[in-house]
Structure 1
Amino acid sequence: MPAVAEMPVASFSSAAPAPAWGGRLATMDRRKRLRLALGVAVLVAVAVAAVVLGRQPDWRVLFANLSDKDGGAVVAQLTTMNIPYKYSEGGGAVMVPADKVHDVRLRLASQGLPKGSVAGFELMENSRFGMTQFQEKLNFQRGLEGELTRSIQALGSVQSARVHLALPSQNGFFREQQKPSASVLLSLYPGRTLERTQIAGIVHLVASSVPELAPAAVSVLDDSGKLLSDSGAAGDAAGAVDGQQLQYRQQLEQLYTRRILDILEPVVGRQNVKAQVTADVDFSQTEATSEEHRPNLTADASAVRSQQTVETTGAAAAGGAAAGGVPGATTNQPPGPSTAPVNGAAAPLAPAAATAATAGAAAATAKPPGKRESITNYEVDKTVKTVRGATGQIRRLSAAVVVNYQNIADAQGKSSPTALSAQQIEQMTALVRETIGFSKDRGDSVNLMNAPFLVDATTQAPELPLWKKPETLELVRSLAWPIGLAVLGTIVLFGLVRPGLKAMAVVPPPAALPAPGLAVGALGGPGATLDAMLSEEPLRPALASPVNAAGQAGLAGAGAAAALPTPTPPEVVPEQARLEGARQMARDNPGAVANIVKGWVNGDAAATPAGA
């Protein structure tokens, strides 16, 4: 056998302690170290981001609709108190963590922030010593305006309000005192309006809060300068009545329309019937007064109210003596002197006087003229009627109804629209008439038509898919960061960190070259190849080959080495470690590998004839 150059004997024993993690990291390839470092850095970044996102506070609104001045004062105070904040809604709202909202709000209120808030009667609590009567009156007026503002802002449609009161000074020396007045400026939320009843409520609220303030002296305006309150003008009153009449008419029409739909929808389907009702309503006010008299038909039915009777029977009854005697100058002569009976007998009358007395006695015995008068007043039946016509009377109703075709399935199960029969239309028309209280004398009309409904695709809002719905998008936004960080961390962990840790776990054996005789036997014998040397086959079984024994004997005879170390059992040295050691030896000492190959070639050449 040709001599092989002597080489130091290599020991594959793993009895030496494994190097530390620092040594393993130093023996790794540069690219592997960079990958491991990058993976660890990304994992640390993901962990920090998860912690930061998990500890992000829930923001709540502290103050909204702040002016620039109040917003700056609030932000400056929050900075002083070391409280985190942020803006929203264009800077009009200041937000702080949810767990600090109430605490911060109380602390800012103790410092009088925001100053734009409405002050009420608490102004009277800060009265200074030596305040004049005018200042006290002014504070009272400001407090009353603030309290009224708070009450008005409690309405749902009112965003903000301002109240101005004009309270004149009362003077006992003036007979006619000036009356107070008030004005209210309202700012409503976008898209909202106030009803007439709400405006009237605001007017009466202000009028009832100020002594001797009449509702007519209260003016209510909106932020566009439009007068909302009724100032007592005839035009405003008429406009209010017109609005109420229109609202009543619309409610009446909607009521009849709803009745028609409720009676027909169970028959033809919810979306297969359309109805409209028009009501002609009489809002005129009439008042009529009538007076009726009923004559007394019978004597028993008559009632005597008053009765008067006048009866004259003679001259005495007429009130004096009747004129008598001979007409002429003789009758105009005065009578003679009369003497009392105690003085003796009366003197005889003159001839003319005797004649007059005789004529008077004759006239007295004549028949007087008769007169009789009777007046009776009876009670007369009288009826007075005053009739006021009720407003809102229905003069005429008109109803229009459209019914869709019915979908009827044929023998093959295919449905097709089919028109209603004349009997069905007549029955539905009768139902509509009974529903609205049809009156022929009133002139009501009902028209029911059967026609197919056209479905307009543009009017139907397409149903959004699941991934485009707002709730789904909101859920994705809330889970995007946690899921993204988890996926990124998983990729980095299994793609960069784990391979680096596995590479660090491999313990390389100490690199040493075996002796020439040992090398051939240890690496496979005469027929071994370089691929076999670099493969994952175990190297320790080759140590017991005949060539290895010859090599050991030659080394012993030459005295190059005292003895080979005891081979380590194969189960002690991992296969990966042995393979890595052989590769490292081939990289570090190519000449030795070449000698080993030469030995394999020579061994093959010597063994071939013997085998033949």
Structure 2
Amino acid sequence: MEQLRKLLDQAREIWGRLGLSSRIIILASLALLIIGVIALTVTARLPDYTDLYTGLSPQDSAQIETRLKEMGVRYQTLEGGARIRVPSRRRAEVLLALSAQGLPTSGSIGWEFLSKTDFTSTQWTLEKKNIIALQTELARTITQIDGVEGARIHIATPQEALYSEKEKEPTASVLLKLRPGATLDEERIRGIMGMVSHSVDGLKPSNVTVMDTNGHVLSEVAEPPAAGKASPRLSQTQLGMQRDFQKDIERKIQSMLDEAIGPDKAIVRVSAQLEFDEKKMEEEVFTPHPGTDGLVRSRQSKKEKYEGYPPGAGGPPGTPTNTGTPPAGYKAPAAQGSPARYNKEELIENKEHNRKKTLTENAPGTKPARIQVGVLVDSSIQKSDIDRIHNVVASFAGIDPARGDTISVQAIPFERGARELASRQLQEEIRLQRLWQAVRVLWPILTVLFLVLAALWVLRGAMPRKKEAEEKPRAPAFPEISTFPPPPFPQATIPPFVPPPVEIPAFEGEEPTSAEGRRGLSEMLKKRSEAQSMVLEEVEELVNSKPEVAAELLRSWLVEK
């Protein structure tokens, strides 16, 4: 207890020595510290919000907000109430509670719709209600996929026919609303098609059409192969190579057009097919040696010579020969006794030529089989510029008409309102999230930094006073003037120094009238004047040598008075 009392006394003593400015700084620092601790506590307890429902009607939004208030659940409303967000840890609880009460009642009706059936419902009505509930539940499930903001599903189930050959297959269509800047890869699109097809009896994945709100048919590039058949499409690796090739050309052309005509004034799409068939070509070329018709490798000469009489009569056996009627085209031999000669020469030369053998092997996926480029530019672009863009893009993309490549550049007015609004909303959300994260991280650091600076400021204000007290010269003791108050310090920059008037106390008793009395009084006044002059000289020297210390000391005296 004694130690605590000493600490309190020391604190009071230190607090009494501080000036008004130092006290204000300390109080402000303590207030800021308290506010910082409270802010950190509040921000640490703030929940992480997630979407509860999107695309709500005004009636459903009002009912859900009323129910959330009754449950005591914090919530946020966006997009004019069409989007409601709740803390992530309570989302499942809120969904179950609202579903038990049949909310929402429109626009998003799931299995809770079947609880409203009565005994008068027909089989056809029950089937239709089941389809409606299935459509909504599938849409809710698809909305949970990253990048999908909303979904609508329509399922068409034909009536059963008497003959199986006349029976039609069920079909389904899926409309996706993607978040700004989000895209779905082939794997996710194929997963959506498979999930919808496996939820409906007899529905094939090939009969499921997936489209986004921009009118792009997404199921064309992700249609799975039929069961029991080999996939005629490319493998995932080949599709990835083809996509990378397309995106690379798109990015380069888009970057070039953005720099040439400005950002957001052109849209580029590229469709390319790569050759993945492995091809080998072997070519062998023979050319003669320069200046000759070839080098002789081998030579063969053959000569035949005959002289003498030919053989006697003869001819083909048979009746015509015996009867003396030769066949048509028969040449009778020469008569016996006339000589005959026969000469034959044959020369065979084998020559060497230059031989070049080339084996060409194309790596799969390195050569485009076909390229199609489509470019849309804003209608503000002039016609002459569009022709130049056509030529430059065709040359840059390597368009070859002989290969079947095509390119099209068209000018249309761009609709920027919805896109710019979505972009601004996205940027605003990102900015707020980053700002909030920065506040959470920097708030403790800034608080500690401010407290350190405040402490340094207080110490800086106390150090000169302490130093001044140590260095203050001790004035000589004059008993006759010890009761006089110390004169105030003048400003060093205001010459000359005018000493304040000194009051001379009245003498008690009668005023001296003799010469000795007057002489004693004169000596006393002279001593007082000399003492005051010495003090003033020391003060003036202190002010001139250390004006900051003198000013701080004078300021503290004024504050204390």
Q: Tell me: higher relative CO, structure 1 or 2? Use CA pairs within 8 A at least 6 residues apart.
A: 1
Q: Same fold by TM (over 0.5)? A: no
**Normalising by structure 1, what TM-score?**
0.35
